[in-house]
Structure 1
């Protein structure tokens, strides 16, 4: 069956917005460029040098309103613009100390008061993915449609915060690809492991309100909470929408 690249997404600030791309240049051993380049550490974070695991950061699993943020990154200047239905847009530079406080002031109303509060923006020289290795998240649009049918409602791709969405695979057949390589455009990626999901996927990315038991639906149908795959780039190259996907 012919498969192709249906969507490309990146998330410049981990858990704080997404944007869609038409193409992107992947590099061997690296995350998708600018994906999770920054993360927002909370006031209880215990950060090490470099990459740190997700419990150190403000994220949608604890603050579902974050799921409604959209982002736009100007790569040339490092300027990010965020939009949220309940906030005025904000444009700032995550690397600029003078821009931190205005960003934190903008963000705090979206974080429940009983949760650890946003404190600073950090970066690590690699994407702050949930995997300990630099990964690209590959997901199946066919599996998403199947889960949507099982739940009786359409589910947005943005619940899942993936990078590369493949169309044309048989639903759930992607789990058979672990340990194998795929080619997309001029790039090659090795499928490493499944992605186990958290309750951030239960929030509507249009509103940031929890409205769908995605985890319960996965458990009921399949006995697990896995959706999507982590992959590593083994050979760099440009990938574009509609590029064919091959084993």
Structure 2
């Protein structure tokens, strides 16, 4: 079976929703377009619009599991984002100019004992990835199937908040790609490192409730807390769902 791109996802507002794509054009040295374009700083954050900041500055699923149930849809022409959540009315807003409406919308999802969301941050030309370099995240669906089997419950791949889902691979083979280059469609990506996972993955992406100890399962059965791999775009090009994947030596 030829390995292929099974799904493409972007997360316009870091930690606040996911959006499925059919195709996208990747650019060397950049994140997926509109992925983590904005991030939501909390009241203790040191982040600003001048540079990348670590994830500890932002509201996210590791601290607020309810955020994991948000879906997003972008209108790139207008710059407006629509968010949906099972416990909130739909919201369409402009993150650049209508942050107050978003903060009002998200407040009921925030636990009272957590630092509250206070503002939306955007660094021009830089997606606010968890890495200090502009990265994309790749997930092997066969590895996710192993997690489902190991934990004896359905583990949605959406728990891992990846950009590129891959099919047609052996489980865990993606960790053998570190320091190699992978071609997907027209683009090429340098595989940098495994993704060390956090509490966000314990929350159900449909309900936003913590219902699965993914971290304990990874540690107990596989000796680590890694799932997926980070990559950098080294050759620009178009990619689409169904495109073949090739590891270049």
Give the TM-score of the pair, scaled to structure 2: 0.97
Q: For 1:72, what is the secondary structure of its paired residue? A: strand
State the alpha-carbon separation in 2 of the partners of residues 30 and 103 from structure 1.
27
State the alpha-carbon separation in 2 of the partners of residues 2 and 154 from structure 1.
25
Aligned residue number for residue 90 of structure 2: 89
Structure-to-structure mapping, 1:126-165, within 5 angstroms: 126-165=126-165
Say whether 1:34 aligns with 2:34.
Answer: yes
State the alpha-carbon separation in 2 of the partners of residues 238 and 183 from structure 1.
11
Aligned residue number for residue 180 of structure 1: 180
**How far has the Cα of 1:168 moved from its partner?**
1.1
Aligned residue number for residue 56 of structure 1: 57
Q: For 1:188, what is the secondary structure of its paired residue? A: strand
State the alpha-carbon separation in 2 of the partners of residues 43 and 176 from structure 1.
40
Aligned residue number for residue 120 of structure 2: 121
How many residue pairs match? The answer is: 245
**How far has the Cα of 1:51 moved from its partner?**
0.5
Q: For 2:120, what is the secondary structure of its paired residue? A: strand
**How far has the Cα of 1:100 moved from its partner?**
1.5
State the alpha-carbon separation in 2 of the partners of residues 243 and 50 from structure 1.
34
Taking only aligned residues, the RMSD between alpha carbons, in angstroms, comes to 0.8
Deviations 1:31-53 (A, max 9, x none): 00000000000010012531100
Deviations 1:56-79 (A, max 9, x none): 000001100000000000011110
Say whether 1:17 aligns with 2:17.
Answer: yes
**How far has the Cα of 1:172 moved from its partner?**
0.3
State the alpha-carbon separation in 1 of the partners of residues 158 and 79 from structure 2.
23
Return 46-55 or 83-92, whichever deviates more. Answer: 46-55
Aligned residue number for residue 244 of structure 2: 244
Aligned residue number for residue 213 of structure 2: 213
State the alpha-carbon separation in 1 of the partners of residues 110 and 64 from structure 2.
5
**How far has the Cα of 1:2 moved from its partner?**
1.9
Aligned residue number for residue 108 of structure 2: 109
Return 45-54 or 13-22, whichever deviates more. Answer: 45-54
**How far has the Cα of 1:91 moved from its partner?**
0.5
Aligned residue number for residue 223 of structure 1: 223
User: Which residues of structure 2 form unaligned runs of 5+?
Assistant: none
State the alpha-carbon separation in 2 of the partners of residues 241 and 195 from structure 1.
22
Q: For 2:212, what is the secondary structure of its paired residue? A: coil
Give the TM-score of the pair, scaled to structure 1: 0.98
Q: For 1:16, what is the secondary structure of its paired residue? A: coil
State the alpha-carbon separation in 1 of the partners of residues 187 and 143 from structure 2.
23
